[in-house]
Amino acid sequence: MEDAIIQLTGGLDSTVLAHHLKDKYRIHGVFINYGYAPQVKEFELVKELAQSLAIELKVVDFSSYIKSFDLLPISSSNYMLKHQFLIEILASLSAYPDLNKVFVGWLKGEWNKKKEMLDQVQATLDFKVIAPFSDLTKGEVIRLGQRLGVDFTKTWSCIVSGKVHCGFCMPCRSRKRAFKESSLDDPTHYYYNESPDEIDEFISKSNVEETYGRFIKPFLEYTKEYSKEFMDNYINLMRKGNG
């Protein structure tokens, strides 16, 4: 059986991908630690997945690197640094220096945005990145996961909390939409149960303070995962991000 690396995040896509590949490759997993609260839950789920599928797992610590950037600590911007995906690929390869094939759970649309840069780097450094789901939507991946017997309660999407899915962050909204697209019941417990469209509309019509007061502050107070100092500073960071 051929060896291959897989990036494991605890999310829907990488979890389904691991189940999809488990009988085709000898999988070596990589978890990249950013050092934020949601990753406590993500890492717990990744370790459980690795144990259940007999995947060797290594952790790459990115926490110091990420925190050197002046970004909102709980925001999708943490995962959208320019060319961050490429750095993560190289980090995964460095965890297993004898391997040169990396599987990622990128979906339809994601792959095309990244492929041109990847092609150049892959040719130079002699490694291969494979995205088996590059022609699939998240809803289609969920249907595949159901056929493979994936327990979706053992996956995590929220980038705000590791205690409960907030229901308002971008990945939570994407998760809600994907289950609706799949026509399968969503087993996820969300703190906010408004539809993604309702949340999109509110955010589009609201300023930073209104969004913070309506969704973020009550949720942070509920989870108690962040210090009072962090919460006091968060609104200023949001203003700066919108400046």
Q: pLDDT tens track of the chain, all 243 residues?
A: 899 999 999 999 999 999 999 999 999 999 998 877 888 999 999 999 999 999 999 999 887 766 666 555 555 444 445 567 888 898 899 999 999 999 999 998 888 778 878 888 888 888 999 999 999 999 999 999 999 999 999 999 998 899 999 999 999 999 999 999 999 999 999 999 999 999 999 999 998 889 989 999 999 999 998 888 777 777 776 666 554
Q: Residue 70's pLDDT is what?
A: 57
Q: Residue 243's pLDDT is what?
A: 47
Distance CA 139, CA 147 (A): 13
We report the CATH number of the domain holding residue 107 as: 3.40.50.620
Q: How many CB atoms lie within 10 A of CB 204?
A: 7
| Token digits of residue 141 | 């991946």
Using an 8 Å Cβ cutoff, are 26 and 140 in contact? no
> Three-state SS for 6?
strand
Asked if 190 and 82 sit in the same domain, the reply is: no
Using an 8 Å Cβ cutoff, are 130 and 102 in contact? yes
Asked if 163 and 144 sit in the same domain, the reply is: no
Asked if 88 and 163 sit in the same domain, the reply is: no
Asked if 102 and 219 sit in the same domain, the reply is: no
Full residue range of the structural domain in which residue 106 is found: 1-152
| Token digits of residue 190 | 């969300």
Asked if 146 and 163 sit in the same domain, the reply is: no
Asked if 132 and 214 sit in the same domain, the reply is: no
Asked if 85 and 110 sit in the same domain, the reply is: yes
Distance CA 235, CA 231 (A): 7
Q: Annotate 78-102 with three-state secondary structure.
A: HHCCCCHHHHHHHHHHHHCCCCCEE
Asked if 105 and 139 sit in the same domain, the reply is: yes
Asked if 135 and 163 sit in the same domain, the reply is: no
Q: How many domains does the chain have?
A: 2
What values do phi and psi take at 231, rounded to 5? -65, -40
Using an 8 Å Cβ cutoff, are 103 and 17 in contact? yes
| Token digits of residue 127 | 């490694």
H-helix or E-strand spanning residue 7:
strand 3-7
Distance CA 167, CA 169 (A): 6
Q: Residue 159's pLDDT is what?
A: 87
DSSP letter assigned to residue 174: H
Asked if 138 and 51 sit in the same domain, the reply is: yes
97, 130, 152: which is the final residue of a domain? 152
Asked if 140 and 202 sit in the same domain, the reply is: no
152, 172, 198: which is the final residue of a domain? 152
Distance CA 93, CA 204 (A): 40
Q: What is the pTM of this model?
A: 0.90
128, 152, 176: which is the final residue of a domain? 152
Q: How many CB atoms lie within 10 A of CB 110?
A: 16
Asked if 116 and 162 sit in the same domain, the reply is: no
